[in-house]
């Protein structure tokens, strides 16, 4: 249970960083922290203490099946990391372009649109 709690703490830290920081690079870091908190959450779902890799070999009994780690969340996390990488690349390139336009990373100086 503690790990789930710590995972949510990490998510909240990312959200705080995103909301409270004015520097857009720090906002990007906040988003990445949130992303990784969720990846961690997915891994914890499939985790089993003392588990083994889910590879079936001849001669394995029914007992062995119970010790397998759930492989599906790990496949999900791989996909999620790749998506996160794509989003991160886009975010960083937008930060660079914004810096070229304004000469600053400060969101309060960049912001002109009223939302």
Partner 1 sequence: MNLVPLFVAIPLGVAFLIPMIGIWWKKSGEVLSTLSMVALSVMALASIGAPAVVHHMGGWVAPKGIAVVADGLSVLLLVAVNVIGLLCIIFSLKYMKEYTGLPKYYALFMLMVAGMNGVVISGDLFNLFVFLEIASIASYALVAFGVEADELEAGFKYLILGSVASVMILFAVGTVYAVTGSLNMADVARTISLDWSGPEMNPALLLAAALFLMGFSLKAALVPFHAWLPDAHPSAPAPISAMLSGVVIKSLGVYAICRVFFNVFGFAATSPTSVIIANSMIGFSVLSIVVGGLAAVGQWDLKRLLAYSSIGQIGYVTLGLGVGARILATGESTALAALAIFGGLFHLVNHAAFKSLLFLSSGAIQTATGTRDMKLLGGIREKMPITATTTNLAALSIAGVPPFSGFWSKLLIIVAVVRAGHLGVAAVAIAMAFVTLVYYVKLQRNIIFGEVGRNVENAREVSAAMYVPLIVLAFVCVGFGILAVTQPAIGERMLGPARDVLLNGAEYVKLVLG
- Binding residues (CB under 8 A) for partner 1: these are 11, 15, 18, 24, 27, 31, 34-35, 37-38, 41-42, 45, 72-73, 76, 79-80, 83, 86-87, 90-91, 94-95, 97-98, 101-102, 110-115
Task: Choose between 59 and 112: whose C-beta lies nearer to partner 1.
Answer: 112
Task: Choose between 42 and 69: whose C-beta lies nearer to partner 1.
Answer: 42
CB of 13 to partner 1, least distance (A): 13
All residues at 6 or more sequence positions from 1 whose CB lies less than 8 Å from its CB, including other chains: none
* CA–CA gap between residue 112 and residue 18 (Å, rounded): 19
CB of 77 to partner 1, least distance (A): 9
Burial degree of 28 (CB within 10 A; 0-12, 13-18, 19+): buried
Task: Choose between 15 and 64: whose C-beta lies nearer to partner 1.
Answer: 15
């Amino acid at each position: 249970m503690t790990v789930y709690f710590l995972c949510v703490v990490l998510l909240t830290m990312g959200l705080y960083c995103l909301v409270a920081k004015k520097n857009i690079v720090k906002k990007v870091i906040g988003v990445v922290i949130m992303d990784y908190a969720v990846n961690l959450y997915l891994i914890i779902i499939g985790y089993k203490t003392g588990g083994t890799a889910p590879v079936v070999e001849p001669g394995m009994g029914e007992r062995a099946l119970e010790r397998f780690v759930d492989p599906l969340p790990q496949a999900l996390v791989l996909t999620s990391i790749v998506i996160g990488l794509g989003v991160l690349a886009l975010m960083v390139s937008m930060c660079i372009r914004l810096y070229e336009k304004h000469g600053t990373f400060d969101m309060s100086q960049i912001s002109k649109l009223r939302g």
